[in-house]
Amino acid sequence: MGQVDAIVAGAGIWGCTVARVLAENGRKVLVLEKRPHVGGNVRCETDPETGIEVHTYGSHIFHTHIDRVWDFVRRFVEFNGYQHKVLARHAGKTYFLPLGLALVNQFYGLDLKPSELPDFIAAEAGRGTRPCVPANFEEQAIAFIGKPLYDAFIREYTRKQWGTDPRNLGADIIKRLPVRASYDINYYSDYRQGIPLTGYNSLFDRLLDHPNISVECNVDWLEWRHQAPSTKHQAPVFYSGPIDALFGYKFGPLPWRSLRFERECLPLADFQGTSVVNYTDADVPFTRIHEFKHYHPENAAVMAAPSTIICCEYPQTWKLGDEPYYPVDTPESRERLALYTAEAAKVPGLVVGGRLGEYRYYDIDRSIDRALETASGWMSTN
């Protein structure tokens, strides 16, 4: 590519969406991705033995209520209508999440009606003594749902997820715990849900399939920028990598939680009967097991095959060089983020966004929406 009107550093969902919008508005876009493939953490791979689409970096389910995101993404892929259902294992029993009539009635051995559930939960939350203003995650959760449900389904799962006692986490981390007064066991309330029929990789390939877009993988923009021709230095940069890495961690690295995955192919047609099962007890070292074949129930051959692929997910402490997954939101991390954000604002032609750049955990639809907003806003002023 000769002329470059914009550089997109990072080919995850945010970067690919930005590149597409700019390209459709006549800009020549160079996309640089340090991994050997595009797609960020939504990248998948098809297992050659089983034909199962494996979510390389953990399960990703598209769901949205945002009209413009739904309209945009369906220009490139169609979805299979998969509805996400999550189970939880506690004390040798399996429950449906989220908290609702199915879980509460099974857990307490009751037969509550929808109209009775809110008062029951309120009574459970009001039992015993507790502070008027919850000071930490544990106090806030108990104030929402009561101690028995908290102890069974949240306390140890949270301890594993964040690597610390829930009492060390801020109350605002768990701003609300939805309790459904119904037997609706769909994990998400968005009615637009699914997995791309042709797989997630096809979404990224089609987003980047435009004559104004050039893609180079195995290129880290943080290193490339020092060797780039002067003409390319003048192009605006849309950066979606870690914002602290952008400035050499000069204020210190932002804290993240990372994940480790252990994958296994089993000689079974079905291991757990659903895509994701959470393990809420302390004696289980992982937080959940993914079984990927369930994401494509329309693929009868794969579903009926006498083999399946599962993946155990282990949260772990993040260190430099690890893959960052979940930002750790604390007063200290917010202060450090503000320093990096102010530093980025000083750089002409630099736009920082995406999950890593904004230090926010975004679902796929929110990443797309932010990218549409960013690209459109930039186009209107440039």
Candidates 156, 244, 291, 313; catalytic one: 313
**Residue that has been written with the tokens 């994958």 in this structure:** 263
Residue 171: pLDDT band with limits 50, 70, 90: confident
Residue 55: pLDDT band with limits 50, 70, 90: very high
| Residue 213 CA neighbour count, 13 Å, CB half | 24
Candidates 205, 270, 281, 363; catalytic one: 363
pLDDT at 125: 85
Candidates 71, 75, 111, 176; catalytic one: 176
Query: The domain spanning residue 238 has which CATH number?
Result: 3.40.50.720
Residue 175: pLDDT band with limits 50, 70, 90: low
Candidates 27, 43, 155, 257; catalytic one: 257
User: Which residues are CB-neighbours of 263 under 8 A, at least 6 positions away?
Assistant: 54, 309, 310, 311
Report CA torsion sign: 205, 315, 327, 339: negative
Question: For this structure, is 370 an active site residue?
Answer: no
Domain-located, residue 48: yes
Q: Are residues 32 and 51 in the same domain?
A: no
pLDDT at 133: 72
Q: Are residues 229 and 149 in the same domain?
A: no
pLDDT at 129: 53
Question: For this structure, is 257 an active site residue?
Answer: yes
Q: Which domain holds residue 297?
A: 43-85+186-197+256-317
Q: What does the DSSP assignment read for 12-56?
A: SHHHHHHHHHHHHTT--EEEEESSSSSSGGG-EEE-TTT--EEET
Q: Are residues 247 and 373 in the same domain?
A: yes
Q: From the CB of residue 342, how many other CB atoms can be counted at a distance below 10 Å?
A: 9
Using only C-alpha atoms, the chain has a radius of gyration, in whole angstroms, of 22
Question: For this structure, is 74 an active site residue?
Answer: no
Domain boundary among 289, 317, 345: 317
pLDDT at 225: 87
Q: Are residues 242 and 273 in the same domain?
A: no
pLDDT of 335-382, one tens digit each?
A: 999 999 999 999 999 999 999 999 999 999 999 999 999 999 999 888
Starting at the earlier edge strand, list the strands of the sheet with 29-33. Answer: 213-217, 29-33, 6-9, 237-239, 350-352
Domain-located, residue 179: no
CA distance 101 to 107: 10
Q: Are residues 103 and 124 in the same domain?
A: yes
The answer to whether 124 and 148 have CB atoms below 8 angstroms apart is yes
pLDDT at 174: 75
Question: For this structure, is 366 an active site residue?
Answer: no
Q: Are residues 219 and 153 in the same domain?
A: no
Question: For this structure, is 180 an active site residue?
Answer: yes
Q: From the CB of residue 77, how many other CB atoms can be counted at a distance below 10 Å?
A: 21
Domain-located, residue 181: no
First to last CA, the chain: 21
Instruction: Give the percent of the chain with pLDDT over 70.
Output: 96
pLDDT at 176: 59
Q: Are residues 190 and 288 in the same domain?
A: yes
CA distance 130 to 125: 9
Q: Are residues 141 and 260 in the same domain?
A: no
Domain-located, residue 128: yes
Arithmetic mean of pLDDT, 60-71: 97
Q: What does the DSSP assignment read for 275-344?
A: SEEEE-STTSSSSEEEEGGGG-TT-HHHHHSS-EEEEEEEEEE--TTSPP-EE---HHHHHHHHHHHHHH
Question: For this structure, is 95 an active site residue?
Answer: no
Q: Are residues 164 and 291 in the same domain?
A: no
Q: Are residues 243 and 120 in the same domain?
A: no
pLDDT at 322: 92
Instruction: Give the percent of the chain with pLDDT over 90.
Output: 83
pLDDT at 382: 84
Arithmetic mean of pLDDT, 127-144: 77
Tell me how long the chain is: 382
pLDDT exceeds cutoff 60 at 1: no
Domain-located, residue 202: no
Q: Is 381 exposed, middle or buried (0-12, 13-18, 19+ CB in 10 A)?
A: exposed
| Residue 51 CA neighbour count, 13 Å, CB half | 11
pLDDT of 8-46, one tens digit each?
A: 999 999 999 999 999 999 999 999 999 999 999 999 999
Domain-located, residue 220: yes
Domain-located, residue 90: no
Q: Are residues 246 and 355 in the same domain?
A: yes
The answer to whether 120 and 112 have CB atoms below 8 angstroms apart is yes
Residue 132: pLDDT band with limits 50, 70, 90: low
Candidates 167, 216, 361, 373; catalytic one: 361
Residue 316: pLDDT band with limits 50, 70, 90: very high
Candidates 27, 155, 159, 288; catalytic one: 288
pLDDT of 177-231, one tens digit each?
A: 678 899 999 999 998 999 999 999 999 999 999 999 999 999 999 999 887 666 5
Please state, rounded to an integer, the average pLDDT across all residues of the chain.
93
Residue 5: pLDDT band with limits 50, 70, 90: very high
pLDDT of 215-274, one tens digit each?
A: 999 999 999 988 766 655 679 999 999 999 999 999 999 999 999 999 999 999 999 999
Question: For this structure, is 176 an active site residue?
Answer: yes
Number of domains in the chain: 3
Cα–Cα separations (whole angstroms), residue 205 to 37, 133, 249: 10, 50, 32
Q: Are residues 152 and 286 in the same domain?
A: no
210: which DSSP letter? S
The answer to whether 380 and 25 have CB atoms below 8 angstroms apart is no
Domain-located, residue 377: yes
